[in-house]
Structure 1
């Protein structure tokens, strides 16, 4: 049984992006993740002897005291970031049968995969540009298969100030772009240095949409849809879950051997030399 309508499927095929309201059950699927994040924040503070005062857990305050902790020691943000991806309820969410069914229905396949290093919980802190994900297509960082879909769902209500994900509808139709490590993002670290060649010219050719979403909502994007993280100018971190499904049967994936993500060690410049300058 399909989990989306025929019209939604057609819209996704045309735009390369679709918002599905209330796809996940907040009480059953989202709240357990938030509760574990709340507890991990408390445990990290305790481990490092950082005194914090927090109200009892509620859906809206799961990240209470997080900003106080990283103000004390920014490195503790990385510790929390690594720990929260080990939450069982998070693993259940990204590998749920409902999500797999959605991908298989969209792509007409029964051979779905979840790439190594292709999932996580992003924490985008206020006014931090160094780790903001700028304009890109997912496939260049997740070279498992050209036929892939990003699943993006927020853990907090996304407002304009928090910086919703910004998408270029229809951009997937032109294929894989050309990239460089020596463009406007060359001052960033690691894979964040990689950006679109002639970025301004490329993204100006499309309309930009920035959906406002709530916990439980799901944004799906084609692996070739150009998008970027919004600018968080609020006083709270933007917490969101990303996972990626890919089609094992797609020819490019077969040819390159369903590579792991760039963060798991894949050298995309060697895999796609014709797409780098």
Structure 2
């Protein structure tokens, strides 16, 4: 199947690397015009140049409301609508509740909690102009399990999970043609995971087929789910939390 999101305009935050870059590539491959945003514009531009199909790179600090407003205004000026919003940008802070500082906690939540709020809030006017729009919020298995060392990260991802459901119901109640779902990856081979594990740049090859317990997924595994949720194939999937973790969260030990 090709052209699954042909003609759609997609905005991806944190699109300069990792999961975001994989999401951008998958959406562009299936026909979407992708706005690649990242706090590092050079990274976003490299991804936009690589994926083609009219991709546009814009600088975006998702914790900055004024920056969001300027990006949305630029998308409005160029395209007049938005079909797909992928709130992907994130950071990780390794510290438990006793050790994390208030500044660290606030910074993590500013990016992944407030950033998703701002993205949804300010994108809605453009999303409402689309025929069948989709918001995809990147949460985590950290929102579903107890991970003491990722306290701030898990708190932010839990907020993303909850906000997603509220937005999905709100859009239905107000008659907006917008779905909203959250994606909950487990351990995925990304630069952020490598940094947390102290092995930056040591990428593992993508393994084909069913993975054994404990194996990490590839960014493309998450991007394939994002592509499905972005397409009209998932029209009956709304307010859901889709877990991509190779059965980690359901194991009895």
- Fold-level similarity (TM above 0.5): no
Q: TM-score, structure 1 length as denominator?
A: 0.28
Q: TM-score, structure 2 length as denominator?
A: 0.30
Query: Larger radius of gyration, structure 1 or 2?
Result: 1
More helix by share: 2
| Bigger RCO of structures 1 and 2 (CA < 8 A, at least 6 apart) | 1
